[in-house]
Amino acid sequence: MTQAMPATNPPLVCWNCHERAQGTHFCPSCGKLQQAAGTTDYFALFEMPRKLWIEMNALEQKFLQLSWKLHPDNFVNATETERELSLKRSSELNDAYRVLRDPVARVEYLLGLENMRKEGEHKQQAPPELLEEVFELNESLDELREAKSSGSDLAALKSRLETAEKNFGEKLSEVDAQLQATASDWDLAVDANADDTARKKIMSRLNELLNRRSYIRNLVVNVARELGEV
């Protein structure tokens, strides 16, 4: 099956010399800083493929290089258009670097680019296989709150919740490992020029894991907060 090609932005024409500008940041004809064509793609901003494994040293070096080139101080005596573009492109670069250096944020961003993750989709109910454990955890949290209000002994409840916190922390680590393995599957699919069906299957799995991770992480955070108030 032939891979479905994503919609491409129209060719970028330089605002200054009106020549076709192929470069990501600067016009190859006149050297002027360019506006990004269409929606900013963080991977394209760093001139990287849409892959989930990124060599951090290379990302940092590229960030520092582009930060220097795009910094507003370099455009103090330039035209108003260039000064405005410098501010905008520098802000985009900082946002892109913050996202791409974080493994989980990187997956979320990729799925957003591919229209496979909708805002608020992570607000789901407990995964079916965790329902019993989540129910018991919520009961323990309610008991802890009541005990704190009444001044009852908290030792047993605290111990039970610490055990639950450790248990869900281990589950979170398991999900992170699964997320990393599935991210590797995505990169292999990109390298193999896999068809659209194969890619969507991997992205659906990534989305499922992100949802699971978000839910479990919220549980761990809630328990830690309650224990911190004991």
The pLDDT of residue 157: 87
For residue 41, which of 82, 116, 100 has the smallest C-alpha distance?
Answer: 100
147, 188 Cβ separation under 8 angstroms: no
- The answer to whether the CB of 164 falls within 8 A of the CB of 137 is yes
- In this structure, the answer to whether residues 166 and 74 fall within a common structural domain is no
User: Is the same domain home to 84 and 152?
Assistant: no
Task: Report the CATH number at residue 3.
Answer: 1.10.287.110
CA atoms within 13 A on the CB side of 150: 9
Q: For residues 132 and 80, state if they share a domain.
A: no
Q: Are residues 147 and 210 in the same domain?
A: yes
What is the number of domains present in the chain?
2
Residues with Cβ within 8 Å of 17's Cβ and at least 6 positions away in sequence, in order, are 27, 29, 30, 32
Note whether 56 and 140 are same-domain residues. Answer: no
Same domain, 20 and 82: yes
Q: What is the reported pLDDT for 109?
A: 96
By residue range, what is the domain housing residue 145?
Answer: 128-228
Does a structural domain hold residue 86? yes
Answer whether residue 193 is part of any domain: yes
Does residue 90 share a domain with residue 173? no
Q: What is the pLDDT of residue 230?
A: 52
Residues 59 and 14 in one domain: yes
Task: Provide the pLDDT for residue 19.
Answer: 76
Q: With a cut of 50, list the residues of the chain below it in pLDDT.
A: 1-8, 122
- Are residues 149 and 221 both part of a single domain? yes
Do residue 88 and residue 166 come from a single domain?
no
| Residue 111 in domain | no
Structure confidence at residue 114 (pLDDT):
92
15: in domain: yes
Do 96 and 132 lie in one domain? The reply is no
Does a structural domain hold residue 120? no
What pLDDT sits at residue 193? 96
Global pTM exceeds 0.85: no
Run of H or E residues at 221: helix 196-228
Is residue 115 included in any domain, yes or no?
Answer: no
In a domain, 110, yes or no: no
The pLDDT of residue 188? 97
- Looking at residue 6, its pLDDT comes to 42
Instruction: Indicate whether 221 belongs to any domain.
Output: yes
- So what's the pLDDT on residue 21? 67
**Residue whose C-alpha is closest to residue 216's, from 185, 187, 178, 182:** 178
